[in-house]
Chain A
Amino acid sequence: MNLTHLTGSSLLVATLFVIAPNDAYAYLDPGTGSYMLQIILGVLLGAAFAIKAFWFRIRAFFGGLFSRKSKGR
């Protein structure tokens, strides 16, 4: 997918959200400060979350190998 296409569809989606009469989103104001912090924290905590998930998958993989071997015996 090229960049123009992506921007085009995002624009379309954004426009749809602006004009959609059924839009019931966000009656709360997230607050600019809270939003900014989420962007920064999201990078940090998201990375930690991804590493943790990856680590569990590695453990599960080796755990699976080990239990298969045990069954083989």
Chain B
Amino acid sequence: MPGGDRLPSSFRDPSGHLFVHNGTIFRQINNSYRLHYDRLIDSGLYDTLVDRGMLVAHSHTEDDFADEYLAYKVIRPDVIPFISYPYEWCFSQLKDAALLTLEIHKLSIEHGMALKDANAYNIQFVEGKPILIDTLSFETYREGEPWVAYRQFCQHFLAPLALMAHRDVRLSELLRTNIDGVPLDLASRLLPVRTRFNFGLLTHIHLHANAQRRYAGVSVKPRRKISRTAYLGLLEGLFSTTRKLKWRLPKTEWSNYYSDTNYTDDALKQKANFVGAYIDSISPRMAWDLGANTGEFSRLAAERGVITVAFDVDPVAVERNYQAVKTNRGPSLLPLILDLTNPSPAIGWNNNERMSLLQRGPVDLVMALALIHHLAISNNVPLEVLASFFAGVGRDLIVEFVPKEDSQVQRLLATREDVFEEYHQAGFEQRFGERFHILSSKPIDDSERTLYHMRRRD
């Protein structure tokens, strides 16, 4: 097609689309969006949002490779280093994304514009902060019209946040199965009765679900207009309801891992030194820390200027990690929730709208510290299959082998039969050696564990 390959996620909005041309991502803006785009720029809204780090900046390009019949302009948005999805975010990440959406909307109204969508996938995290990446989300505000994305905001943000805060934090997983957000009737049924005594949740979720049911099949457009004050009141109400949602962190299995581990303080320091030295020798552009917990070792990469994504299965650990990033206790990195035994699949239209985890790789460096025993023993993954997985996601690998003698492994084996004959250091080196060159190995003092630096065989 003219203008290169359209990104599979970019098809719903007729205002324009993203495409790849010679390895760079561009956004085509169609003639139909011209007035809105000009207003975004001329009203000063674009500058205001970009100055505050709320909207992705872009530059203009030569239009000669655009679709000449449709295109008004072609822009080149700043690159987002790693695309993450709402079902991978912890509670506060989703909440911050929701509040950013509403703040942008309020600023837009001040500039005579409105947000025409409130899609959680339009928000990404860069340098630890949420940012809107869709430059075409704005339209000229017309007094009297409703907020067209009100339902979308409730489905993408408010409903999952309410479920996470009031029922169970794991319900964010509903976003993985419902690409346009959690249906409000489902949220209403799952939320505890007490949420009906909260005015915001009563109206925006429960009564909203009732209204949808009441008017299902009715296609008449209401004639009654919504005044500017009413519109602003609705936004303010949504903002206050969202802001008040809080999730109280419970204690979980791994969140006290660093204070409750087999390592002495000296051994932990030694491990950090080894990992740091390995990262220095690799100098990767991007690193994935798999099983990162609260990100103590991920920070070793991040503070060396490596774009770092810290994955963990535990929402508590990810929340703590994100809080640390937010309060600037350390370098910027991206904490995400991920169950490695069932990583994010490709979902949506044509199974291609949102990328699987593996489609977002491979990366220069994968770190797997104190992780192998969970995958090999708790999830029964043979070492050979593990080695093949790691070779698929990263070029360099910093991996820690935790043998059966280690008390953490003993704990995993306590209630089950030991069927893992191959699970010993020689077996590990044999299987990983088939896929990787083992460049270095270092035993960690006062422990049974060994740290390795490996590079994938080509």
Hey, which bits of chain A sit against chain B, CB under 8 A? 21-28, 30-39, 41-50, 52
Contact = CB atoms under 8 A, between A and B. Distances in A.
Nearest to A17: B142
Contacts of A47: 233
Interface stretch (B204-212, B397-405, B414-422): B204-212
Contact of A23 (B32, B232, B233): B32
Interface string B236-247: 110000000000
B223 to A, nearest CB: 10
Contacts of B150: 30, 34, 37-38
Interface string B283-311: 00000000000000000000000000000
Contact of B139 (A24, A33, A44, A52): A24
Given A33-B216, A46-B232, A46-B233, 4 more contacts: A32-B215, A32-B219, A34-B151, A50-B229
A15 to B, nearest CB: 15
A34 to B, nearest CB: 4
Closest 6 CB pairs of A and B: A42-B230, A46-B230, A49-B233, A45-B233, A46-B233, A33-B212
A21 to B, nearest CB: 8
A38 B215 contact: no
Contact of A39 (B30, B146, B148): B146
B7 to A, nearest CB: 17
B119 to A, nearest CB: 9
A46 B14 contact: no
Interface string B188-221: 0000000000000001100110111111101111
Contact of B237 (A28, A33, A45): A45
A14 to B, nearest CB: 11
Contacts of A52: 236
Interface stretch (B33-41, B379-387, B424-432): B33-41
Contacts of A50: 229, 233
A40 to B, nearest CB: 8
A73 B81 CA distance: 59
Contacts of B116: 25-28
Interface residues of B, number: 49
B235 to A, nearest CB: 9
A27 B13 contact: yes
B438 interface: no
A52 B31 CA distance: 41
Contacts of A24: 14-15, 30, 32-33, 36, 139
B35 A22 contact: yes
B218 A32 contact: yes
Given A45-B233, A46-B233, A36 B13 contact: no
A61 B388 CA distance: 71
Contact of B148 (A28, A37, A42, A49): A28
B213 A33 contact: yes
A34 B230 CA distance: 14
B343 to A, nearest CB: 30
Interface string B151-166: 1101000000000000
A45 B236 contact: yes
B139 A31 contact: no
B224 interface: yes
Contacts of B117: 27-28
A39 B224 CA distance: 7
Contact of A35 (B13, B14, B146, B229): B146
